[in-house]
């Protein structure tokens, strides 16, 4: 690594931390019913800590999408980082409200996280941030403009909402009812599905924009394949990764839900999405 590369790396890291500070400020401004510092450091709210990890990791992925594009100078890179980074902060926070209204519509996410410290809900909200960051990264990775990136973000949110409905329909138990019981295992498995779908969308919208027809066909094909994979992956997890046990029983039919089983299911979804991106 040359001295110039080292110094430019420090500049990029510094700009990323500025965006983290800005993102935290925006998040605090939009959630005035609680004090972020007090919840994290005085009340030791683990559920909120998960949300903030997901929020900032989503922002990291979004910034990565900006940096993966072509640039001619450090100045051009920094303009792109702050312009698209600022837009990413707005989109991440708006996606959080969509998560509350449309992905987990049966209760108030903020109350579950702040009042009840529900880690199961917290990890789902965190996963939604990560999935949105991945979608933004894909949308910003090619030669498209702000309009194409915005449309891809909207398509990605629609995909997350659709996948959550399909996933809930496939399950033999009620996700909301189990989250209300503070079932973290169910939250972990649901979160893995969201991250996996976000990654599939990232792959589908990555690359240079050529035409809407080609972009929509690619997006639709990947999404359809991903939705078909959901029940297959759950079946494989049940039969191969957890032989002799039933995933549903481990998650919802025990006195203490098996968080490890939920993590294995989440891993299966994410691993499948990574493999899909590498082989297709």
Q: pLDDT by residue (tens digit) across 51-70?
A: 999 999 998 898 887 777 65
Distances (CA, A) of 130 to 39, 87, 253, 255: 21, 16, 29, 30
Q: pLDDT by residue (tens digit) across 79-131?
A: 888 888 898 899 999 988 887 889 998 888 889 999 999 999 999 999 999 99
pTM assigned to the model = 0.93
Asked if pLDDT for residue 167 goes beyond 80, the answer is yes
State mean pLDDT over 165-178. 92
**CA angle (273, 277, 280) in 5-degree steps:** 125
What does the mean pLDDT of the chain come to?
89
Asked if pLDDT for residue 143 goes beyond 70, the answer is no
State mean pLDDT over 129-158. 88
Asked if pLDDT for residue 12 goes beyond 70, the answer is yes
Residues 202 and 179: beta-carbon distance below 8 Å: no
Question: Comparing 148 with 259, which gets the higher pLDDT?
Answer: 259
Q: Is 157 exposed, middle or buried (0-12, 13-18, 19+ CB in 10 A)?
A: buried
Residue 204 pLDDT: 92
Residues 103 and 128: beta-carbon distance below 8 Å: yes
pLDDT tier, 72 (very low <50, low <70, confident <90, very high otherwise): low
Residue 100 pLDDT: 82
Query: Nearest to residue 168, comparing CAs of 178, 181, 182?
Result: 178
Q: Could you give the percent of the chain with pLDDT greater than 90?
A: 51
- Rounded to whole angstroms, how far apart are CA atoms 196 and 264? 13
Written as one string, the DSSP assignment of 50-116 is HHHHHHHHHHHHHHHHHHTS--SSHHHHHHHHHHHHHHHHHHHHHHHHHIIIIISTTS-HHHHHHTS
What separation, in Å, do the N-terminal and C-terminal C-alpha atoms of the chain show? 33
Asked if pLDDT for residue 190 goes beyond 60, the answer is yes
Residues 180 and 121: beta-carbon distance below 8 Å: no
Question: Comparing 56 with 7, which gets the higher pLDDT?
Answer: 56
Residue 161 pLDDT: 95
- Rounded to whole angstroms, how far apart are CA atoms 2 and 5? 5
Residue 69 pLDDT: 63
- For residue 254, the 8-state DSSP code is S
């Amino acid at each position: 690594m040359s001295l110039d590369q080292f110094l430019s790396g420090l500049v990029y890291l510094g700009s990323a931390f500025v965006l983290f500070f800005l993102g935290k400020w925006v998040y605090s401004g939009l959630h005035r019913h609680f004090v972020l510092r007090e919840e994290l450091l005085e009340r030791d709210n683990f559920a909120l800590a998960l949300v903030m990890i997901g929020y900032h990791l989503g922002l990291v992925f979004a910034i990565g999408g900006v940096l993966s594009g072509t640039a001619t100078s450090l100045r051009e890179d920094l303009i792109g980082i702050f312009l698209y980074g600022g837009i990413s902060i707005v989109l991440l926070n708006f996606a959080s409200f969509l998560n509350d209204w449309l992905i987990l519509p049966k209760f108030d996410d903020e109350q579950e996280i702040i009042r009840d410290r529900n880690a199961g809900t917290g990890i789902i909200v965190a996963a939604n941030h990560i999935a949105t960051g991945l979608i933004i990264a894909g949308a910003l990775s090619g030669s498209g403009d702000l309009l194409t990136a915005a449309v891809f973000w909207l398509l990605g949110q629609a995909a997350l909402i659709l996948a959550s409905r399909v996933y809930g329909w496939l399950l033999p138990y009620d996700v909301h009812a189990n989250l209300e019981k503070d079932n973290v295992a169910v939250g972990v498995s649901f979160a893995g599905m969201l991250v996996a779908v976000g990654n599939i969308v990232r792959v589908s919208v990555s690359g240079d924009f050529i035409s809407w027809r080609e972009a929509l066909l690619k997006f639709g094909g990947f999404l359809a394949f991903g939705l078909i994979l959901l029940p297959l992956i759950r079946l494989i997890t049940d039969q191969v990764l957890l032989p002799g046990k039933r995933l549903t029983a481990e998650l919802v039919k025990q006195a203490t839900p098996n968080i490890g089983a939920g993590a294995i299911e989440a891993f299966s979804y994410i691993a499948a999405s990574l493999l899909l991106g590498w082989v297709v």
